[in-house]
Copies of this chain bind each other. A is one copy, B any other.
Amino acid sequence: MTKPVHVAVVGATGAVGQAMIDTLLRREFPFASLKLLASARSAGTVVEVRGEQLIVEEATPESFEGIDIALFSAGGDVSLRLAKEAVKRGALVIDNTSAFRMDPLVPLVVPEVNPKEIFKNQGIIANPNCSTIQMMVALYPIYREYGIRRIVVSTYQAASGAGQLAMDELRQTASAILVGENPVAKVLPVSKLEYHYPLAFNVLPQIDVFEANGYTKEEMKMVNETHKILNDARIEVTPTAARVPVMYGHSESIYIETDQPFEISDILRLLAHSPGLVLQDDPEHQVYPQALQAAGQFPVFVGRVRKDLFVKNGLSMWVVADNILKGAALNAVQIAEMWILQEGIGS
């Protein structure tokens, strides 16, 4: 017999919070109760879940009384303020923000890659950054079999990664340009910074703030999180993160060099049979991953897999996933699923 599991979603009115609720339902997560939490500003919002009207409550330390699993996606400041309060009250926190990702006491988990880390948690488990997650799902099978010493990755990231306001702005600036008006941007690339640029019919080579070394925070996440997830700081990661006028679905152009030589047919077979991955690789029939097709889907899609023309152990590929699902909500729910299986909780 298992005990019932009580779940809270913190940031329930945001793009990722909504997707967390949807994903819990789509995957028939066996929750006994679902509590929706958000900032005071969003409290009172009504969200329909399984035909039931749930009222979003303001998240306070006391909100977590009786909660077994709390999925956080309300910004790093909220996680910093409330995650430990939730843990103190007995909840497992699965945090989608960057607040605890590099904390050595907090596991950083992609279930297809390092699931055992889940059980080393001290109350908090961190969800990696969206652009890192899909790269890890695609590369891990190759890493395990051949080793990877080098990654050069350029991203084509969707507006949804910057939240609902960024999606609204993409829609507005696109509409303006289509009728010949001058678009005005106030959100992208980074709402809190001084300058804003339209994303519609444009590409913005800035995601998050710049660090002193000339890389953006988003790019440095891809370096540091890759090292932590694979527990291998020797991998030389060269990231460029750019935002493209897409609503959902991050695309990534990934070049790697493996330690061991490979046959391309073996790589394809490996990718075709790895968890969480769907191989879409048939150039003759123009089959390759596309953001529009990946939107709303759970898997990570990989295609355009090809041997380098010059470098012996070089390999290129194109990797696409729904950044709100596998890049955020789904990855968190998968962690929760593994946790309750192991703990024997859930109805």
- CB within 8 Å of B: which residues of A? 152, 154, 156, 171, 174-175, 178, 189, 193-195, 197-198, 201-206, 210, 213-215, 223, 236-238, 240, 242, 244-247, 249, 251, 253, 255, 283-286, 288-292, 303-311, 314, 316, 318, 320
Contacting pair B284 A210 (CB below 8 A): yes
A203 partner, pick from B175, B290, B309, beta carbons under 8 A: B290
Closest B residue by C-beta to A156: B203
A45 to nearest B CB, angstroms?
A: 23
Contacting pair B316 A240 (CB below 8 A): yes
Contacting pair B245 A292 (CB below 8 A): no
Contacting pair A306 B156 (CB below 8 A): no
Could you say which residues of chain B place their CB within 8 Å of the CB of A198?
292
Contacting pair B255 A210 (CB below 8 A): no
A174 partner, pick from B178, B213, B320, beta carbons under 8 A: B178
Closest B residue by C-beta to A170: B201
Q: How far is the CA of A220 from the CA of B157 in the complex (A)?
A: 25
A202-B292, A292-B202 are known contacts. Are A215 and B306 too (CB-CB below 8 A)?
Answer: yes
Closest B residue by C-beta to A196: B286
Q: How far is the CA of A246 from the CA of B250 in the complex (A)?
A: 16
A195 partner, pick from B214, B251, B285, beta carbons under 8 A: B285
A154 to nearest B CB, angstroms?
A: 4
Contacting pair A214 B286 (CB below 8 A): no
A240-B253, A283-B214, A310-B236 are known contacts. Are A290 and B202 too (CB-CB below 8 A)?
Answer: yes
Q: What would 26 A/B residue contacts be, using CB atoms closer than 8 Å?
A: A152-B238, A152-B255, A171-B178, A175-B178, A178-B178, A193-B286, A194-B285, A194-B286, A197-B286, A201-B247, A202-B246, A202-B249, A202-B292, A203-B246, A203-B291, A205-B303, A206-B288, A214-B307, A236-B309, A236-B311, A237-B310, A238-B255, A238-B310, A238-B316, A240-B255, A242-B251
